[in-house]
């Protein structure tokens, strides 16, 4: 019987995937990184510290999970695909890792992670990137930082600037909560099986003190959603629909912001979105 603890994580993963007849699922966005050296570079780029609590989303075959544990992290790994259980059990044998087989988008993160600070390090299934990032940033329990592998196009969207084609609600929300930086670019050849896209390791370092802060963050998120709801519509039209007010009221909010009534929401930067949120909050009492 093979003792996978005597093997490198990458080799252990390849052998376990073959032994248990695992079949990759395109619908689940399963593209694993099985190269030990590359995974170590990712963990180093993530700045993982010994004793740190790390939430890994989508551990796949467990190569990065094991590398995180070897770096001294206390890992909670959440995996949707139950067929990976024997693979993960084999690759992670002897390592103190908590495996949870659930849908990360349905889990109660408060109950899962408790009160102690934590970070997120993950090779995300790309189809849930936006949902996961928004869930992590807008929930009650926010990580200290998020380091995720994403499709290059998604990274460019999150790093977009105001009044550009890629400036969007996801970018505005992510940049409100944290500083975003690309840490590493990876070609399709870094993954098994090969995806059809380039990838970027993206770091989101959550602010302790935000450069711009809205008085009511729940209201700000609603304002951001409204601003980008229909890009061809004016901001006034979008606010009218989102807040169930007449056009004159929406125009008065925009005037208080110092903007023309024909302005579109996608030209507003974070400072103005925060200011508009505060204006609406004051007007609505």
Q: How far is residue 79's CA from residue 99's CA, in Å, rounded to a whole number?
A: 8
Decide the pairing of beta strands 119-123 and 145-151. Answer: parallel
Quick one: tokens of 31? 């593209």
Q: How far is residue 191's CA from residue 118's CA, in Å, rounded to a whole number?
A: 27
Q: Using one digit for the tens of pLDDT, what is the confidence trace for 181-202?
A: 999 999 999 999 999 999 999 9
Quote the pLDDT of residue 231: 79
Quote the pLDDT of residue 97: 97
Does residue 272 surpass a pLDDT of 70?
A: yes
Tell me if 212 sits within 8 A of 274, measured CB to CB.
yes
What are φ and ψ of residue 31, in 5° steps? -130, 105
User: How confident is residue 40, by pLDDT bands cut at 50, 70 and 90?
Assistant: very high
Average pLDDT over residues 212-223: 97
Decide the pairing of beta strands 145-151 and 178-186. Answer: unpaired
Mean pLDDT, the chain, integer: 95
Q: How far is residue 35's CA from residue 20's CA, in Å, rounded to a whole number?
A: 20
Q: Name which residue leads in pLDDT, 1 or 178.
A: 178
Q: Using one digit for the tens of pLDDT, what is the confidence trace for 87-102?
A: 999 999 999 999 999 9
Tell me if 239 sits within 8 A of 229, measured CB to CB.
no
Does residue 227 surpass a pLDDT of 70?
A: yes
User: How confident is residue 260, by pLDDT bands cut at 50, 70 and 90?
Assistant: very high
User: How confident is residue 273, by pLDDT bands cut at 50, 70 and 90?
Assistant: very high
Share of the chain above pLDDT 70, in %: 100
The DSSP string of 17-65 is: HHHTT----TTTT--B---HHHHHHHHHHTT--TT-EEEEE--TTSHHH
* Burial of residue 209 (number of CB atoms within 10 Å: 0-12, 13-18, 19+): exposed
* Burial of residue 16 (number of CB atoms within 10 Å: 0-12, 13-18, 19+): buried
Q: Using one digit for the tens of pLDDT, what is the confidence trace for 46-74?
A: 999 999 999 999 999 999 999 999 999 99
Helix (H) or strand (E) run with residue 203 in it: strand 199-206
Place of tokens 């609600």: 169
Tell me if 182 sits within 8 A of 155, measured CB to CB.
yes
Query: Model pTM?
Result: 0.93
Quote the pLDDT of residue 1: 59
Does residue 232 surpass a pLDDT of 90?
A: no
Q: Which domains does the chain have, with CATH numbers?
A: 4-206 (3.40.50.150), 217-283 (1.10.8.100)
Decide the pairing of beta strands 53-57 and 178-186. Answer: unpaired
């Amino acid at each position: 019987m093979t003792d996978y603890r005597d093997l490198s994580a990458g080799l252990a993963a390849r052998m376990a995937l073959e032994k248990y007849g695992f079949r990759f699922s395109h619908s689940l966005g399963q593209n694993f990184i099985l190269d030990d050296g590359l995974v170590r570079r990712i963990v180093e780029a993530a700045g993982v510290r010994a004793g740190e609590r790390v939430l890994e989303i989508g551990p796949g075959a467990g190569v990065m999970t094991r590398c995180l544990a070897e770096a001294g992290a206390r890992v909670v790994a959440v995996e949707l695909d139950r067929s990976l259980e024997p693979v993960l059990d084999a690759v992670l044998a002897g390592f103190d890792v908590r495996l949870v087989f659930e849908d990360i988008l349905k889990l109660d993160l408060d109950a899962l992670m408790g009160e102690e600070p934590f970070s997120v390090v993950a090779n995300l299934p790309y189809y849930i990137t936006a949902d996961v990032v928004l869930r992590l940033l807008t929930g009650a329990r926010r990580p200290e930082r998020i380091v995720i592998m994403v499709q290059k196009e998604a990274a460019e969207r999150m790093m977009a600037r105001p009044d550009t084609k890629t400036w969007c609600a996801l970018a505005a929300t992510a940049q409100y909560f944290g500083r975003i930086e690309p840490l590493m670019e990876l070609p399709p050849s870094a993954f098994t099986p090969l995806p059809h896209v380039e990838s970027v390791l993206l770091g989101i370092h959550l602010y302790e003190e935000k450069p711009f802060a809205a008085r009511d963050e729940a209201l700000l998120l609603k304002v951001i959603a409204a601003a980008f709801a229909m890009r061809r519509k004016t901001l006034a039209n979008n606010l009218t629909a989102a807040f169930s007010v007449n056009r004159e009221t929406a125009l008065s909010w925009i005037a208080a912001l110092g903007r023309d009534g024909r302005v579109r929401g996608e030209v507003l930067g974070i400072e103005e979105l925060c200011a508009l949120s505060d204006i609406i909050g004051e007007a609505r009492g």
